[in-house]
Amino acid sequence: MNELRTLDPFALDPLDDAFRSLMRPWRFEAPDAAPRIKLDLSEQNGSYAVKAEIPGVKKDDIDVRIDGNVVTISAEVKSEKEEKGNGGRVLRRERQEGYASRTFTLACPVDEGKVEASYKDGILALTLPKKSDQASKRIAIK
């Protein structure tokens, strides 16, 4: 497959330029990304159990919405990192804001009045009881 490359028309030796770029210092610090919500979903005795990993987020910044059989989990992260030098001067300050959301559809509608939710150590645990199925009623034909 073709690779897209930039060409410097003023470079004296393109091969030398390629080797020079390999000798640049490596940056090991990856930029922090918005949290990714990873889900585990299981079905147990008339309810669904959801475990969602949302690390680095406060409980108040998590929003769970249920609309019939559609569940949406969203989270907003705000963090600030500050590094000081020996003299106490601020040498670097970084702020980060991110937003993550996951939406999934269940096979049965959820009984919103009986939902249980807890959040501890970056794990959101939801118990989503299924709505009781209304038995079909046989209609007598006259």
pLDDT at residue 34 tops 80: no
Cα dihedral 83→85→87→93 (10° resolution): -30
DSSP letter string, 38-49: EEEEEEETTEEE
pLDDT tens for residues 37-93? 899 999 988 899 999 998 878 899 999 999 989 999 999 877 777 777 777 777 777
In one letter, which amino acid is 12? Answer: L
Mean pLDDT of 104-120: 92
More confident residue, 115 or 134: 115
**Structure confidence at residue 84 (pLDDT):** 74
More confident residue, 56 or 21: 56
**Looking up tokens 């807890």, which residue turns up?**
118
Domains of the chain in start order, with CATH, are 35-129 (2.60.40.790)
